[in-house]
Amino acid sequence: MADKPEEFALDAEIAGMLGSALQAPRLAAPLRERLRERVLERAAGIHVVRAEAGTWVTLMPGISIKRLHQDREAGSETNLWRLSAGAIIPEHDHRSDEECLVVEGSILQGGVEYRAGDYLLAPAGSHHEPLHSPHGALLLIRSQTLRSYFSAT
């Protein structure tokens, strides 16, 4: 057994030979690309939810949501809402601002049609009449947390 720390030190030449003998693991291209993207996302401090990631949860018949982000301090969240043809979001009140971007399809409110690319802002204290989607829609909605919404109704 060695008594002196220097006896454990590797000779620089031996360390160099060991290092050059190592081979990087071979990763399949898709795995290598996903790993690269994850490293870059974390390095940049960006939160990314891929289209195929996340879970769609049925909120009510014909309406599913996928959470993209939740800000617990602000009590808000950003979700994708998928409305099937004929789906209706019931009337409701807003305790905080609600932002909605129609990504695909269309919705009707009060006889007015909103299509892909249209942005709606329902300010805090406003009342939403029922929203109807005759042909289906995909919405990006930033609002108070759904939990607080349902506990208030």
| C-alpha torsion 93→95→96→98, nearest 10 | -20
pLDDT in tens, 23-44: 777 878 888 788 877 777 666 6
| 5 DSSP 8-state letter | G
Q: Residues 6 or more apart from 128 whose CB is under 8 A from it?
A: 89, 91, 92, 93, 94, 98, 109, 122
Whether 121 has a pLDDT exceeding 90, the answer reads yes
Beta strand 112-115 with 87-89 is: unpaired
Q: Does pTM top 0.85 for this prediction?
A: no
Per-residue pLDDT tens over the stretch 66-94: 999 998 888 889 999 999 999 999 998 88
DSSP letter (8 states) at residue 6: G
126 half-sphere exposure, CB direction, 13 A CA radius: 13
Largest CA distance in the chain: 87
Give the Cβ contact number of residue 143 at 10 Å. Answer: 22
Structural domains of the chain ordered from first start: 5-44 (no CATH), 57-152 (2.60.120.10)
* Residue pair 133/86 in contact by the 8 Å Cβ criterion: yes
Please give the DSSP secondary-structure letter assigned to residue 145: -
